[in-house]
Amino acid sequence: MRSALLVTMCAGMFLVQLDVTVVNVALPAIGADLHGGLAAQQWVVDGYSVVLAALLLTGGALGDVFGHRRVVLAGFALFGAASAACGLAGTAPWLVAARAGQGLGAALLLPGTLAVITNAYPGHAERARALGIWAGVSALALAAGPVLGGAVVSAAGWRPVFWLNVPIVLAAAFATRRLVPRGDRVPGRRVDVAAVVTAAPALGAGVYAVIGGSVPAAVVALAALAAFLTVERRSADPMLPLDVARRTLGANFVAAAMNFVGIGAVLVLTLYLQGVRHASPLTAGLEVLPLFGPLSVLAPVAGRLTGRVGPRPLMVAGLALGALGMLNLVLVNGNSAYAALLPTLLGLGVGMGLLTTAVVTAAVGGIPPGRAGVASGINNTARQAGGALGVAVLGAVVGEPGGEFVEGLHAAGLIAGALWLLAIGVTLSGVRAPRDNRVARAG
């Protein structure tokens, strides 16, 4: 029963992650069909990521109050409807708006699926193994996205890429109704409306300010953040308990850095392969498999290792390998053979394969079951906000494929490598093993 539940929750994560990389490969075709430049293509990615990041805390809190089964089912419904709207889009703004709708559905799905798994596997070792499978399916979606997207775009255009979500949503929603316990309202818990109203603009406007360089958006973000912190300090039942936030601060910084580099690199490498090396969508999808293949294979293995030795050793090893891989980009130029890119793809893929499960375990391990949704919401907020910022920042650094793109590629590699080296320091100083893991090793 638990295995079937795990598979069903992994299907939700598969959808969320698939729509990250499948869209990247389709961006040139979308831009040509809907007459959108690089900025419009970035917003096709970040219209999804910004809404997802802005509402993940809300999604996790709603699940803790109303039950994660209800919230996951609502997420599937919204995600499926928005995917259909993406497939029907006639203009770039329409597509971006529909992608935002997908982000809303994903904000309900992502913390809900993680919380259901966390509650179903209470022991640290078994939870780490389950999260390893969850992360492996996530990685499989990332790996499948470029190849599947490239094949679909080459054969039938970009619109069917979004229609693929609809049958998966229907099957996963049906299984969720049958397998996940219903769950009632938690007595004494309520939705922190004031926190929801202030958290969403704080995150959303903050990411928008970075993407668009908007000073008014930055002011809105800072004001909303100040209001959010004030509300949370005074709340008897806060959406973001400060003790949970403090306990997981180091792990969630690393999670944000992981997606900043990982998701940002997918955009940059796709632009390089298609815009500089002139690869077809399918060829580009196949050429990034050395990145996603190790990630999908190593994530379950890393889950078992995390259960034995704790998250920190794997986090340090993964960050070091990924940093070296991204620094390799300074050696790549417009005339380089594909082999010159392999150290970057393999370093980042192996690094994220070791890192992903460990950083999630560090963020949610030891958190009381009643706060599982909040803890997973915080972690996923950090990851998605980091990914959105990575697309914005690294995309701006490299610019449109053209004369100075290679120089921008070198700068992106240096930025990404330096960030992950910093994350090693944060891991060593600010990430601790979950308490039950230390007890298990002592026994």
pLDDT of 78 higher than 90: yes
d(CA 276, CA 407): 12
Residue 140 near residue 14 (C-beta atoms within 8 A):
yes
Mean pLDDT for the chain overall: 81
The reported pLDDT for the residue numbered 55 is: 82
Output the CA–CA distances (angstroms, integers) from residue 239 to 78, 146, 371, in the order listed.
23, 36, 10
Our CA angle for 298, 301, 302, nearest 5°, is: 80
Residue 343 tokens read as 């150290």
Q: In this structure, what is the dihedral angle of CA atoms 172, 19, 111, 11, given to the nearest 10 degrees?
A: 30
pLDDT of 208 higher than 60: yes
The reported pLDDT for the residue numbered 439 is: 31
pLDDT of 197 higher than 80: yes
d(CA 235, CA 144): 43
Q: Which residue has the higher pLDDT, 187 or 417?
A: 417
d(CA 211, CA 393): 7
d(CA 69, CA 368): 18
The pLDDT tens digits of the residues spanning 12-47 come to 777 777 776 678 778 888 888 887 777 787 788 878
d(CA 182, CA 68): 8
* Mean predicted confidence (pLDDT) in 373-388: 76
- Identify the sign of the CA torsion 427, 430, 434, 435: positive
d(CA 294, CA 351): 9
Sequence-separated (6 or more) residues with CB below 8 Å from residue 7: 175
pTM here is 0.74
